[in-house]
Amino acid sequence: MFTGIIEETGTIESMKKAGHAMALTIKCSKILEDVHLGDSIAVNGICLTVTDFTKNQFTVDVMPETVKATSLNDLTKGSKVNLERAMAANGRFGGHFVSGHVDGTAEITRIEEKSNAVYYDLKMDPSLTKTLVLKGSITVDGVSLTIFGLTEDTVTISLIPHTISETIFSEKTIGSKVNIECDMIGKYMYRFLHKANENKTQQTITKAFLSENGF
């Protein structure tokens, strides 16, 4: 469980591919202060398990399923990544639960500076936007953000300079691919409401329905 507040940006030291799977080694320091084998760390928003570590780097195994569903394949040795440790039990009960299970990717189609904020348009598949809500939360490469604009296939987010400088957003350009996790609560609501509707016989206001109700 994470909160989408990036603690440090790390650097890819090596990427060993074995078939569709991958072992990643990442250089960093702060988040290794209290690390243990088996700990969960979000790398660009992807929850991965520490299988090896030293004082200034750690290694994770990445399943084919995860490689396929995320932008990991776009990374190379030297790429910067957003890092966050799992939520501290005595940490703040933040406003947004991030599981680190990436739902899909999006492409940056607009970057626009307006006074002290930078606006980004993220183009993504409607299967992702359908569970989102204006002013709701979304996680982009592990960063918890507010949805300022929402259409069928595009989400608009806005970042303050602090967030940009503390994350890899500073390296993003038009066309960059980013990992998207939709808000957990939205996904549950979408599934339960639709299941409830599916269970209901398809009741549309038909002539028969109105006549049954005495019209």
Contact 141, 178 (CB under 8 A): yes
39 touches a second copy (CB under 8 A): yes
Minimum Å gap between C-beta 187 and a second copy is 5
Structure tokens at 197: 């509707």
Q: Which stretch binds a second copy (CB under 8 A): 16-24, 74-82, 105-113, 172-180?
A: 16-24
Question: x/- contact string, 100-139, with a second copy (CB under 8 A)?
Answer: -xxx----------xxxx------------xx-xxxxx--
The identity of residue 146, as a single letter, is T
- Which residues have C-beta within 8 Å of that of residue 120, sequence separation ≥ 6? 108, 110, 111, 156, 157, 158, 159, 169, 172
Contact 108, 140 (CB under 8 A): no
**65 annotated ligand binder:** yes
Q: Would you say 92 or 175 has its CB closer to a second copy?
A: 92
Alpha carbons 21 and 27: distance in angstroms, whole number = 20
185 touches a second copy (CB under 8 A): yes
Of the candidate residues 21, 107, 123, 164, the single one contacting a second copy (CB under 8 A)? 21
78 touches a second copy (CB under 8 A): no
Q: Identify residues 132-171 at the interface with a second copy (CB under 8 A).
A: 133-137, 146, 148, 158, 160-163, 166
Question: Environment class of residue 40 by beta-carbon count within 10 Å: exposed (0-12), middle (13-18) or buried (19+)?
Answer: middle
Q: Would you say 131 or 176 has its CB closer to a second copy?
A: 131
Query: What is the distance of C-alpha 141 from the center of its chain?
Result: 5
**144 annotated ligand binder:** yes
Minimum Å gap between C-beta 168 and a second copy is 15
